[in-house]
Structure 1
Amino acid sequence: MAIRIFLLLLFMGFSFSIDASAETPLKAAFIRDHQLWLKEGDKETQLTKGTYAYNPQWSKDGQFIAYTAGDKSGDNTNLFIYDSEKKESYLPYISIQTSDYKWSPTSNQLAYNSGGVLNVTKTKNGRPHGFENVALGVSDFEWFPNGKEFIVSSESNLLPTGWEPVHLFKVPVDANLDTNKIKPFYTVQTNTSDLFAIDAEYFKWSPDGKWVSFLLTPTASWANDSNTLSVLSSIGENFQVIGKMLWNARWIKWSPTKNQLAFISGEGRFYVENKNAAVADIPLMNKPKEYTPKGYVDLDLEWFNQDEIIVARAKENKKWNEGPVPTMFTVLYVINIQTGEQRQLTFPKNKQLDISPQVVGSTITWFRTTGMWNKGDVWAKDSINGPEHLWLKNVDFAPTFFYK
């Protein structure tokens, strides 16, 4: 009898833990009618009024949301932080002009690039406030996984002999503009025949922190048509070119558990053709494997698990060659990269398209719109085989989820 009671209690505890996990509410920051909002579970809360807010980013512990806000014209835009404990937005400094800011992976410290100057926030009364200069001449940056250093790029200069190589640096958080603390990390030798670039952008770390991916970008007009996806080992020794793609950070995604890199390959600035979902094993031993069927294009992607990716797919349109660029009416597909099996995941109505897939635990969300890129709804499926349901109505962009 005692054994039966023990087993029953064990089973009940196990069932409760599964149900509690399954019922964990989604938590997201989003923009509606230019204002910052928060949704947790079924509750929606407006966080700003009378401004134009953009690009919300969660701190590691979810207490803070960094975002930029200004006027309708895009002028007078400053960096703000919303404190969810005190339920208020504040300026971490009198004026911070930036569009490039990233939270530390280990603390509530915010780094940002303002006019080529990399800065980090200080702390006052338990929240980010004030700032310290870190380094000058910065084009793009990303935290190292340890939260103690940055990988930094600096745009090349055009010399009478041609463009300089692309330089990457390792910069400690406490560099304080001391160039003696800043060390060269890797120099990408470029030329105009097989690899031409003047900058490196969109740094992203592999799940084990042993590789960093980034996009090598040429001069502006050329970059609209073709860029070079590359990876570099965390000690700055092994550099590899992965493939050609467009200038889109969302089109580069590491697997959640393996050193596999998914991306949308293909050149040409228009989305009507030559855009293929591909996956590369890192370090690269073989050519990346492409999964897009002939006659189609894939225009967004997300990992569902270590064996499956989700893509936004449309029929290609090779007939178009002039006039307004046609809308590509994408639907979501799930691809098993081990077996090659592919099946349709969402079913938007006529003249609707599904983009921006995001996975939070076992939940899949996406942005459904009619082609008005700054207006649509967020839909969700609680599992890969579950029914779809409306989760957020009338939003400007896909939300930014907080998920530990």
Structure 2
Amino acid sequence: MALRIVLLLLFASLNFSTGTAAEVPLKAAFIRDHQLWIKEGDKEIQLTTGQYVSSPKWSKDGQFIAYLAGEQEGEKTNLYIYDVMKKESYKPYPMIEANEIKWSPTSNQLAYNSRGILNVTKTKNGRPQGFENVSLGVSDFEWFPDGKAFIVSSQSNLLPTGWEPVRLFKVPVDAHLDTNKIKPFYTIQTNTTDLFAIDADYLTFSPDGSWISFLLTPTASWSNDSNTLSVLSSVGDQFQVIGKMLGYENWIKWAPTENQLAFISGEGRFLVENKDTTVTDIPTSNKRQEYTPKGYVDLDLEWLSPDEIIVARAKENKKWQEGPVPTMFTALYVINLKSGEQKQLTFPKNNKIDKVPQVVGSTITWYRTSEKASRGDVWVKERIDGAEHRWLKNVDYAPTFFYKNN
């Protein structure tokens, strides 16, 4: 009898802890009327006034939100950090003009690109403060998973003999502009016939850190129609071209646990046709699987599980030839990679558009807007079979969620 009681109590405890985990409230930073807000559960708090805010990024532990802000939209942006515990925004340095910010994967250290100079913050009184120069000539960058170094790209130059190769470098966090510490990592030989590129963007590591994906981009006009998705091993000894696609960062997603890459393939700047959800194992043997049915285009994607992908899908429009580009009215669909089954997940009405799917734990979220609206709402549902409800109203674009995966 005593053993039976213990087992019942253990079962009840497990059920309670599981239910509690599922009920952890969503937590997000978002932009409304150009201002930074935060929401946790049902509580919304406005954090800034009188600025044009963009690019909010959570630190690994959720203690800080880094963001860019300027006095007017389109002008130069300065770096700010919001301290969640102290409930205040501050500048880590009086004047830091930045165009890209990324938190360390292992600490509350922030890296940012300022006109081609890669910098990292120092620490003062337990929060990011001040800065140190790391490297010059940086186009894009990403932290190595151990937080001790960066992989950086440097845009090639046009010489009388043609464009230089695209070069990648490994840069220690403590390089301090010392070129002796910075090592060439990989050189991508390009040409104008089958692999033309002048830069590498959107550097992202695979889940186990053994591969890096990136987009090789040609000159501006060309890149509007076609870029080359590629991967490189994390020790710089294997390079592979994966496929052609447009230059949207959110169209490239690593699987949550496997070295499997999902992307939306297809050339042509207009979204009316030839945009297919494609999945390939890395390293690839040039075998890849396309999942978009004939007559449709996929225009956003997100992994739901190791075997499922959510896409934003619309009917293609091959009849359009000229004039205003037609709006693609997307709804969300779920693709099961193992069974091949596909089913519609959301059913927007009245010419609404569902896009930017995000998965936060067991919660599915998306951004719902309309053809001429400058803002939209954020909707959520628990798992595929949950009831959907509106979580945020009148936001400028999709939020940035904080989720600590225990």
TM-score if structure 2 supplies the norm length? 0.98
Secondary structure, counterpart of 1:80 in structure 2? strand
- Whole-angstrom distance in 2 between the partners of 1:350 and 1:204: 37
**Any gaps of 5 or more consecutive residues in structure 2?**
none
Q: Which amino acid aligns with 1:300?
A: D
The corresponding residue for 1:367 is 367
Q: Structure 1 residues 301-310 or 63-72, which shifts more?
A: 63-72
**How does 1:287-326 map onto structure 2 within 5 Å?**
287-326=287-326
- Whole-angstrom distance in 2 between the partners of 1:400 and 1:196: 34
Deviation at 1:12, TM superposition (A): 1.1
Does the alignment pair 1:195 with 2:187? no
Q: Percent identity?
A: 75
Residues 263-298 of structure 1, C-alpha deviation per residue, up to 9 Å, x if partnerless?
A: 000000000000000001000013221000011000
Residues 26-73 of structure 1, C-alpha deviation per residue, up to 9 Å, x if partnerless?
A: 100000111101011111111111111111000000000001111234
- Is this contact kept in 2: 1:228–1:245, CA < 8 A? yes
The corresponding residue for 1:34 is 34
- Is this contact kept in 1: 2:264–2:278, CA < 8 A? yes
- Whole-angstrom distance in 1 between the partners of 2:288 and 2:112: 33
- Whole-angstrom distance in 2 between the partners of 1:14 and 1:238: 45
- Is this contact kept in 1: 2:52–2:73, CA < 8 A? no
The corresponding residue for 1:244 is 244
**How does 1:131-146 map onto structure 2 within 5 Å?**
131-146=131-146
Deviation at 1:338, TM superposition (A): 1.1
Residues 136-189 of structure 1, C-alpha deviation per residue, up to 9 Å, x if partnerless?
A: 000100000000000000000111111111000000000000000000000001
- Whole-angstrom distance in 1 between the partners of 2:374 and 2:133: 35
- Whole-angstrom distance in 2 between the partners of 1:66 and 1:146: 21
Q: Structure 1 residues 49-58 or 167-176, which shifts more?
A: 49-58
Secondary structure, counterpart of 1:180 in structure 2? coil
- Is this contact kept in 2: 1:373–1:397, CA < 8 A? no
The corresponding residue for 1:58 is 58
**How does 1:37-48 map onto structure 2 within 5 Å?**
37-48=37-48
Does the alignment pair 1:3 with 2:7? no
- Whole-angstrom distance in 1 between the partners of 2:202 and 2:337: 24
Does the alignment pair 1:20 with 2:20? yes
Deviation at 1:372, TM superposition (A): 4.1
Runs of 4+ in 1 over 4 A off after TM superposition: none
- Is this contact kept in 1: 2:99–2:115, CA < 8 A? no
- Whole-angstrom distance in 1 between the partners of 2:167 and 2:74: 32
**How does 1:361-400 map onto structure 2 within 5 Å?**
361-372=361-372, 374-400=374-400
- Whole-angstrom distance in 1 between the partners of 2:274 and 2:170: 36
The corresponding residue for 2:353 is 353
The corresponding residue for 1:92 is 92
Deviation at 1:394, TM superposition (A): 0.8
Q: Which amino acid aligns with 2:238?
A: N
RMSD (Å), alpha carbons? 0.9
- Whole-angstrom distance in 1 between the partners of 2:118 and 2:163: 24
- Whole-angstrom distance in 1 between the partners of 2:310 and 2:372: 22
Q: Which amino acid aligns with 2:382?
A: D
Q: Which amino acid aligns with 1:222?
A: W
Secondary structure, counterpart of 2:12 in structure 1? helix
TM-score if structure 1 supplies the norm length? 0.99
The corresponding residue for 1:104 is 104
Residues 49-108 of structure 1, C-alpha deviation per residue, up to 9 Å, x if partnerless?
A: 111111100000000000111123432521100000100000011111112110000000
- Is this contact kept in 2: 1:362–1:384, CA < 8 A? no
